Amino acid sequence: MSLADDAPLPYSQRPEWQDVTPIPQHESLSPLAPIFYTDEYRDCTDYFRGIVTTGEMSNRVLQLTEDIIRLNPAHYSAWQYRYKTLISINSSLDLELLLMDEIAATFLKNYQVWHHRRLLLTYIYSQGPETKGPDLLLKELKFIEKVFEEDSKNYHTWSYRQWILSNFNRNELWAVEIPFIERMINEDIRNNSAWHHRFFVVFDSGVRQGDENREDALRREILYSKGKISIAPNNLSPWNYLRGILDRTKTPYESIEEFVLPYTKSEESPESVVDLDNPPPSKGAHLPAVPAVEFLADIRESQGRISEATELFNLLGDQLDTIRKRYWDFRIKEAQELSQKS
């Protein structure tokens, strides 16, 4: 067999497709933003319009829609028709999921790819929540982690993971999340998606098995953020996370003032007895850290120590974070108005 024989014939030349009438696409006289279609795409979509008109659902439709999706993963009529066909002819959805593993990895940023997976997972799960369910979903979480090797901040992938967790809401799924998040954060301490996911798992979707003591959970999470801040003091993600958990649990910011102070000074504090609750900035860190100065200013403002807060806001606006000069000036004005009112 010569190499040329490997290239599939166009649908218009395949004997087994002769019973389908291809329908060319409507074209206006001065079309808006026309795409210069390739012959291959034109051929596939002509036959697809033909198939949709007759309503045929069969194995060959799966081939046709796969061909279209590979050429244009955003062709959602092809996706919709493919899903209906899979269900209607009772095709193996496990095989479909395998095919999708490859397609998802190729078209990560495409909405339809992830939507199709949701439909597949929902259907397969419904066939045996207790028998097939746990394995299916745990495998899916592993697949997602693999996809993160390519793009660890992909929004679709993260929201798909969040959907699996909250939609199926099974203990065995939640149980694997904290170790997973730690792997992600250890890989990239600035990955805000991973930090967000941590908040989602620990605080935003009910209480996990074994995590019922909320005071312990809070202490653990504060300590975790402090540890990560000490490694990279200017990293906004753990600071926002820390603010988030203090806000959520109505814990005053001043409760961690002792931790914050060394991060607001230009020089490293002299070595003292290591306080495990308040890890100091790592050697050579860029200090003072903007998020720490902001945090301390917030504490001073809440304590009514307005002149100290003003000084810190000025330090931010004039030296450390000049792009937000107008914002820091606004904060000064706001703090002063607030203090005059009280």
Partner 1 sequence: MTEQQANIPVLARSGHSGHCTRCLTGLPFSLVTVDSSKLPLIFYCLGSLDLLGTLDTATKESERESWRNDIWGLHAGGAWGSGFKPSWYMTGSDTKNDPQRTYETEFDTPHMIVTYTALLTLAILRDDFARLDRRGLVTFLRSSQREDGSFTSDPTGGDADLRLTYCAFVICALLNDWSGVDVEKALGFVRRCRTYEGGYGSAPGCEAQGGPTYLAMAIFRLTSDSPNFLNAVERRQTLRWLLQNQDCSGGFRGRTNKDADACYCFWCGGAIQILGATELVDNVALASFLGNCQFRFGGIAKAPGEHADPYHTYLSLAAISIFPPSESAGGGSWAIEPLDTLINAKSSTAQWAKDHIPSKSM
Residue with tokens 């004039």, as numbered in its chain: 318
Radius of gyration for the alpha carbons in the chain, expressed in angstroms and rounded: 28
Give the three-class secondary structure for 309.
helix
The answer to the question of residue 123 lying near partner 1 (CB under 8 A) is no
8 A C-beta contact, residue 253 and residue 299: yes
| Options 3, 4, 33, 274; binder of partner 1; rule CB under 8 A | 33
Site string for partner 1, 76-115 (x = CB under 8 A): xx--xx----------------------------xx---x
Binding span for partner 1 by CB under 8 A among 56-64, 71-79, 120-128, 305-313: 71-79
Residue 334 CA from chain centroid, whole number: 35
Measured from the CB atom, the residue of 76 and 132 that comes closer to partner 1 is 76
Chain residues 291-310 in contact with partner 1, contact rule CB under 8 A = none
Binding span for partner 1 by CB under 8 A among 50-58, 92-100, 273-281, 305-313: 50-58
Q: How far apart are alpha carbons 78 and 36 in whole angstroms? A: 19
| Options 57, 170, 325, 339; binder of partner 1; rule CB under 8 A | 325
8 A C-beta contact, residue 223 and residue 180: no
The answer to the question of residue 324 lying near partner 1 (CB under 8 A) is yes
Give the three-class secondary structure for 162.
helix
| Options 193, 225, 230, 264; binder of partner 1; rule CB under 8 A | 193
Measured from the CB atom, the residue of 132 and 314 that comes closer to partner 1 is 314
- Longest CA–CA span in the chain (Å) reads 89
Report CA-CA distances (Å) from 15 to 7, 9, 150, 321: 16, 10, 41, 69
| Options 14, 60, 170, 190; binder of partner 1; rule CB under 8 A | 190
Q: Which of 174, 99, 184 is nearest to 145 (CA)?
A: 184
Site string for partner 1, 243-282 (x = CB under 8 A): xxx-xx----------------------------------
| Options 52, 138, 178, 306; binder of partner 1; rule CB under 8 A | 52
- Burial of 64-83, coded b for 16+ CB within 10 Å and e otherwise, reads bbbbbbeebbebbebbbbbb
| Options 14, 49, 208, 305; binder of partner 1; rule CB under 8 A | 49
Measured from the CB atom, the residue of 159 and 269 that comes closer to partner 1 is 159
Stretch (H or E) spanning 96:
helix 93-106
Q: What's 234's DSSP letter?
A: T
Measured from the CB atom, the residue of 49 and 220 that comes closer to partner 1 is 49
Q: What's 283's DSSP letter?
A: T
Binding site for partner 1 (CB under 8 A): 23-38, 41, 45, 49, 52-53, 55, 71-77, 80-81, 110-111, 115, 153, 155, 158-159, 162-163, 166, 190-193, 195-197, 199-200, 203-205, 235-237, 240-241, 243-245, 247-248, 323-327, 330
